[in-house]
Amino acid sequence: MDLSTESFLTYLAQTTDSPYLISIARAEGLYLYSPDGKRYADLISGIGVSSIGHRHPHVIEAIKRQVDQHLHVMVYGEFVQSTPNLLARKIVSKLPSNLNCCYFVNSGTEANEGALKLAKRHTGRTEIVSFRKSYHGSTHGSMSVSGNETKKAAFRPLLPDVRFLTFNVEADLKQITERTACVIVETIQGDAGVRVPAKGYLKALRKQCDDVGAMLILDEIQCGMGRTGTLFAFEQFGIVPDILTVAKAFGGGLPIGAFFASRDVMRDFTHDPMLGHITTFGGNPVCCASALAALEVVENENLLEQVESKGQYFESLLRHPAIKEIRRIGLLFAVDFESAELVSAIVEEGKKLGIITYWFLSHPYSFRLAPPLTITYDEIKESADLILQAIGNVYIRT
C-alpha cells in the first residue's frame, strides 16, 4: 500500500496548487478513515457521488456477483448483457413515458456531450442556450455550455453558437428562438451555490421551448437520484424534459452516467451517420450492477421519504452569526459567508476536526454540504456541532 503524499504529488497530475491532501485507507457509511485511524465525516459524499454512503453492503454484494460473471466484453451497443438490461428497465420505469430510452456512458460530462449532440442531430439546428454560472462538465462541449468564464478563457476557442441567459430571469427566455436546437439547464444550479428556480420559472422555460421547437435538456448530474427528496428534481417543478442527464450518485460509487430521451429521438444516433455517439466503456456491467443496487437501496430503505426531514433538521442546527445565508433543497446546501477566505479557512478547520466540507467553483463565498441520504439524525447532530466549532474557531481568530 502506498498512501504517501510524495507519490501523490510526484506521479499524479494535480488539478490545483492546494489539493485537499488527506490519505484514505478505507471508507464505510458516512465516514472516511486515514491510515492512522482518524475518522472524517464525509459531508459532501465525494461531491455528490456516495449518496447511499460508502461501501453499502447491497452494492458491494452486487459488484462481487457481477465480477464473478464477467467484466467488459464489448463496446456499448453491440452485445446483449443482463445487468445493463436490468438497470435500463429499472431506471426507465421511474421516468415519464417520453424518457423511455437510455444511453449509458462513463461520466456526467459525457452524458451532457451526448445530450447536446442528440439535440443538434434531432432538430437540425445549431444554437445552444445555457445559463450564466452553470456547470456541465470540463470536456470541450460541456465546458462550452458552462457559465464560468474564468474556467473557460484559457481553452478557447470552444463550441460556437452558444448563448447564455441569466438563470431565474423569465424575461430572458424570449431569446430562445426557432434557431435554438436546445436549452441545457441544471434543474438546481449546483456549482453556482444551490440556486433553486423560482416557482413557475421552469414551466415558463418548458413552454418557450415548446413554442419554438427547441429541446429541453435537464442536467441532474448533481441534483438527481434523490438528493432533493424526489428521485429526479424535475418532479418537484411540474415539467418533463426532452432529454435528461444523470451521473454521480447514479453509480453507487462507481463511474457511470446516462442520458435519457424517447426511443424515436434516440434512434437518430443509429443512422446518417451510424454510430452517431459511441463509447467503449459505456454500460460497463460492473458499473451497471452497482447503479442497479444503489437504486434498490434508495427504494428498499425508503430514503426519499427521509430527505426533507433530515435536511430541515440539519439546517435548524446551523446557527451562527458568521453565516449570512443558507440555501437548501433536500440534502443539498450552500452555506454563505462574507468572504472566500473565510470559507477556505472554515473548510480547513473542519478538516482538522474530522469533517469534510468543500467550496463551490463558481461561488467561493459558500461551502457545500451534501451528506449521504443515509446519514442518521445522530450523525447530523454530531456533524453540525463540529461545523459550528470550526466556524467558531475561525471566527475567533478573525
Q: pTM to 2 decimals?
A: 0.97
Whole-number Å distance between alpha carbons of 40 and 352: 9
Grid cell 434508495 in the structure block, residue: 298
The predicted-structure confidence for 292-303, as pLDDT tens digits, reads as follows: 999 999 999 999
Q: Note the pLDDT of residue 365.
A: 93
Q: Note the pLDDT of residue 86.
A: 98
Q: Note the pLDDT of residue 391.
A: 97
CATH code reported for the domain at 5-55+304-397: 3.90.1150.10
Running DSSP on this structure, what letter comes out for residue 274? S
User: Counting beta carbons within 10 angstroms of the beta carbon of residue 229, is it exposed (0 to 12), middle (13 to 18) or buried (19 or more)?
Assistant: buried
Q: Note the pLDDT of residue 257.
A: 98
- Residues whose CB falls within 8 Å of the CB of residue 193, separated by 6 or more in sequence, listed in order: 327, 334, 336, 360, 362, 363, 365, 366
Q: Note the pLDDT of residue 251.
A: 98
Q: Is 350 helix (H, G, I), strand (E, B) or coil?
A: helix
Running DSSP on this structure, what letter comes out for residue 129? E
- The list of the chain residues with pLDDT below 70 reads 398
Q: Note the pLDDT of residue 396.
A: 76
Whole-number Å distance between alpha carbons of 202 and 185: 10
Look at the chain and count its residues.
398
Let me know: does 368 contact 334? Beta carbons within 8 Å.
yes
C-alpha cell at 354: 474530522
C-alpha cell at 346: 472554515
For the beta sheet containing 215-219, the strands, ordered from the edge strand earlier in sequence to the opposite edge, are: 101-105, 257-261, 243-246, 215-219, 180-186, 127-131, 162-165
Let me know: does 194 contact 328? Beta carbons within 8 Å.
yes
Let me know: does 371 contact 45? Beta carbons within 8 Å.
yes
Q: Note the pLDDT of residue 361.
A: 82
Run of H or E residues at 180: strand 180-186
Top-level class of domain 58-300: alpha beta
Q: Note the pLDDT of residue 362.
A: 85
The predicted-structure confidence for 221-267, as pLDDT tens digits, reads as follows: 999 999 999 999 999 999 999 999 999 999 999 999 999 999 999 99
Q: Note the pLDDT of residue 1.
A: 85
Let me know: does 182 contact 128? Beta carbons within 8 Å.
yes
Whole-number Å distance between alpha carbons of 129 and 154: 22
Q: Note the pLDDT of residue 83.
A: 98
Q: Note the pLDDT of residue 128.
A: 98
Domain ranges (residues) in the chain: 5-55+304-397, 58-300
Q: Note the pLDDT of residue 201.
A: 98
Q: Note the pLDDT of residue 397.
A: 76
